[in-house]
Chain A
Amino acid sequence: MHRALYLAWAEVLHVVRDRATLAQTLLVPVLQLLVLGNAATFAIRHTPILVVDYDRTPASRALIQGFAGSEHFSVQGIVGSLDVANEALLRGDTTMVVAIPDGFEESIVRQGAADLGIQVNAEKGTAAAIVQAYAARVVSAYGASWSRDRGMPARGAPRIEVSTRSWYNPTLSYPQYMVAGIVVSLVTIIGTLLTAQNIAREKELGTLEQLNVTPITRAEFIAGKLLPFWVLGLVELTLGLVVSRYVFDMPVLGSLWLLYAVAGVYLVVALAIGLFISTLVETQQQAMFVTFFIMMIYLLMSGLFTPVDSMPRWVQVASAFTPVRHFVEISRAILIKGAGLTAIARPFAILGVYGAVAMGLAIRQYRKTGA
């Protein structure tokens, strides 16, 4: 086994000597985390809106105040006609138009009910749905405030008071949610990409042949190759956690030891996939492209960006086969929810099985191509 350690040491020397690559491997993920944590947000703040006020009463002005007071909206202006607002919507100058009809106040006073028109630029999909939800919230808060001025409902009628609580992320911070998942994706990309590329490079340069004629066994070779990347993956995780903790204020509620234990198992899966890819390709360029292709599918299906619960049934089933999904789930559970071993036992066990299967397959495939 000491031969494997020699090989691992050689690999470490390679990595450390190539300063530029080392800087890239360590800095690029941090940069990515910083940009992603800030950019990958569906949080809606200061959405530009235009108001068409046909009513021009204290009630309509109070509603406009309600929108102006919300951090989710910024009222760009009040325009005279719907045509002007529509034009702005078409040009993309505004995202939402609130049309307050004539007789809005009168209707509220007389019937306790009124109509309100809202148009959302749905060009931006998800964002549009969220904007709509926030608008509904502003309007219902406005409606509720109206009654407080008018007194409480008739006594004796049954009444249910609903209170709401937000657990685990009470400030509804989006970056906090994202960074816990992004750290996982960084570990995955580094582990898989570097392994695939490194072995493909040995192939390209012809040095793999040289290693094959040395007395080193295949198991030793694989262990020696993968060990440094396994360690590098954990270093990357540490770096990511430090940035998440101190730049994004991500909470660390659960046990870090447990997270590292899971990461150790997960990296075996990631490295095995890299090894497997390297057996399929001839050049570094191919290794790069094949890895991207697989990563892209993994990341989009893992629930990193959009919740797995929203996916159609068959995609959910398919996504259970991507190891990234399980680690994303675990890391969010441990970091944000403070989950212990029992809560994450199932995904952890699945990762363990994947690790054994993926490594077994990769080694088998490697033997075939190596022979």
Chain B
Amino acid sequence: MTALAGLLRKEVRHILRDRRTLIVILLMPVVQVLLFGYAVRTDVKNVRLAVVDPLPDDQTLALRHRFAGPGVFTIVAVLHRAGDLDPLFQAGRAQVAVLIEPGFGERLARGLPAQVAVIADTTEPNTGSAVQGDAAAVIQAFAQDLGARAPGARIAIRTRLRFNPTAESSNLFVPGLMAFVLTIIATLMTAISLTREKETGTMEALLVSPLRPWQIVAGKVVPYVAIGFVMVLVVIAEARLLFDVPIRGSLVLLLGEGLLFIVVSLALGMLISARTSSQRVAMLAALVGTMLPTMLLSGFIFPIESMPAILQWVSAAMPARWFVLVARGIMLKGVGVAYLWRPTLILLAMAAGLLTLSTHSFSERLD
């Protein structure tokens, strides 16, 4: 056991000595929480609007005034010809344009239908159509104030956003971020640190020492489990303090599931290191095999339901997907094991499978 302690001490020193990597590892989650909290948003506001008003009259001025008033729109340009719109859109100076037909006021006064066209830059489809809808709504409201009867039945929708009533994005990314941080530290760092011993030939030296194979692996892995766990606590604390992210369920259960996910990630890292021989290959394998899928296919940022069927299957094979599901359930819905037994079982099965596979291929390499 003293030999294991010695190996542990050596590993901790290695980690502490490489300041640059350590700083990046420690800063990464902190900066990510900030970025996701402040930068990654999709709400629509301060929309840049261009108005094409070939023949201004009282009514068009009133409509323009309506857009300029409080609301999401800022009028950036008033043009006389629709042909001048293209450069505005291309340079990104306008997001949406409202085209008022000439003689707008006169037609309204005579009881004829007056035409208004809303042109939106839908390069980005969701924002584009949202902005288009907002602009159309402003015009409809204007028409109603003029005394126009709204066509059709008015159906008032009472919407309730469940589990995240304020639609606060910070509440959503924290579970995903935990999975991401754990993957980086547990998988990537484990894979690299084990392959480095191989690459520099010191693995041989460790093997002829009285240490048992499991002790070597434990000695390499335990420090990263500790770092990973601390990072999870940092992410939760930062999210709570800065963004008021709730933890409605049991914190103990959350940390327990986190530990389970760490084991899965470590086993994956060990498997990668057992199958590769150079740090660069290990890094790329860990990157392509774990980090990107964790970010893209786990439902962390992009909804899984929207992906093609093949990617949905691939996503089901990603441990991070199930952990994100569990973490969101505990933090946002406050549910317990009764609701989460399925993903938990899947994670357990993955842990068992990966551990068997990686210890197997590891001892194979040691022979």
By a beta-carbon cutoff of 8 Å, the part of chain A in contact with chain B is 20-21, 24, 28, 31-32, 35-36, 38-48, 89-92, 95, 108, 112-130, 132-133, 135-137, 139-140, 142-148, 152-170, 172-174, 177, 197, 280-286, 288-290, 292-293, 296-297, 300-301, 305-307, 309-312, 315, 319, 329, 332-333, 336-340, 342-344, 346
Residue of A nearest to B48 (CB): A309
Whether, in the assembled complex, B70 has its beta carbon less than 8 Å from a beta carbon of chain A, the answer is no
Whether, in the assembled complex, B128 has its beta carbon less than 8 Å from a beta carbon of chain A, the answer is yes
Whether, in the assembled complex, B39 has its beta carbon less than 8 Å from a beta carbon of chain A, the answer is yes
Residue of A nearest to B299 (CB): A124
Contact assessment for B153 and A91 in the assembled complex, using a CB-CB cutoff below 8 Å: no
Residue of A nearest to B175 (CB): A123
Taking the nearest CB of chain B, how far is it from the CB of A51, in angstroms? Answer: 14
B155 touches which one: A113, A177, A297 (CB < 8 A)? A113
Taking the nearest CB of chain B, how far is it from the CB of A291, in angstroms? Answer: 10
Contact assessment for A343 and B91 in the assembled complex, using a CB-CB cutoff below 8 Å: yes
Taking the nearest CB of chain B, how far is it from the CB of A292, in angstroms? Answer: 8
Taking the nearest CB of chain A, how far is it from the CB of B6, in angstroms? Answer: 24
| B228-236, B301-309, B352-360 - interface stretch | B301-309
Contact assessment for A116 and B158 in the assembled complex, using a CB-CB cutoff below 8 Å: yes
Ordered nearest first, which 7 A-B pairs have the shortest CB separation?
A147-B152, A122-B161, A343-B90, A339-B90, A172-B125, A122-B164, A166-B122
Whether, in the assembled complex, B288 has its beta carbon less than 8 Å from a beta carbon of chain A, the answer is yes
A311 touches which one: B38, B47, B333 (CB < 8 A)? B38
For B114, what are the chain A residues with a Cβ–Cβ distance below 8 Å? 158-161
Given contacts A116-B156, A284-B279, list 19 more A-B pairs with CB under 8 A.
Answer: A41-B302, A44-B305, A90-B339, A118-B158, A122-B162, A125-B169, A125-B172, A139-B157, A157-B111, A160-B142, A163-B115, A164-B117, A169-B125, A173-B125, A289-B21, A310-B42, A311-B39, A311-B41, A337-B123
Given the known A-B contacts A44-B303, A281-B20, are A162 and B118 also in contact in the complex, defined by CB atoms under 8 Å?
yes
Of residues 75 to 100 in B, which have CB atoms within 8 Å of A's CB atoms?
87, 89-92, 95
A-B contacts at CB below 8 angstroms, number:
332
Assembly CA distance A271 to B136 (angstroms): 46
Selected A-B contacts with CB under 8 Å, 24 pairs:
A39-B297, A40-B302, A41-B307, A95-B305, A115-B157, A116-B158, A118-B157, A119-B159, A125-B167, A125-B169, A157-B148, A159-B112, A160-B108, A160-B140, A285-B21, A293-B31, A296-B35, A300-B36, A307-B124, A333-B92, A337-B123, A343-B87, A344-B90, A344-B91
Contact assessment for A129 and B42 in the assembled complex, using a CB-CB cutoff below 8 Å: yes
Of residues 199 to 228 in B, which have CB atoms within 8 Å of A's CB atoms?
none
User: Which secondary structure dominates where chain A touches chain B?
Assistant: helix
Whether, in the assembled complex, B25 has its beta carbon less than 8 Å from a beta carbon of chain A, the answer is yes
Assembly CA distance A36 to B295 (angstroms): 10
Which of A39, A126, A292, A338: most chain B CB closer than 10 A? A39
Given the known A-B contacts A44-B303, A153-B149, A158-B148, are A139 and B167 also in contact in the complex, defined by CB atoms under 8 Å?
no
For B303, what are the chain A residues with a Cβ–Cβ distance below 8 Å? 42, 44, 124, 127
Assembly CA distance A302 to B96 (angstroms): 21
For A166, what are the chain B residues with a Cβ–Cβ distance below 8 Å? 119-120, 122, 128-129, 132
Contact assessment for B308 and A90 in the assembled complex, using a CB-CB cutoff below 8 Å: no
Assembly CA distance A293 to B46 (angstroms): 31
Contact assessment for B123 and A38 in the assembled complex, using a CB-CB cutoff below 8 Å: no
For A282, what are the chain B residues with a Cβ–Cβ distance below 8 Å? 20
B40 touches which one: A44, A168, A305 (CB < 8 A)? A305
Assembly CA distance A306 to B124 (angstroms): 9
Taking the nearest CB of chain B, how far is it from the CB of A301, in angstroms? Answer: 5
Whether, in the assembled complex, B3 has its beta carbon less than 8 Å from a beta carbon of chain A, the answer is no
Assembly CA distance A118 to B159 (angstroms): 5
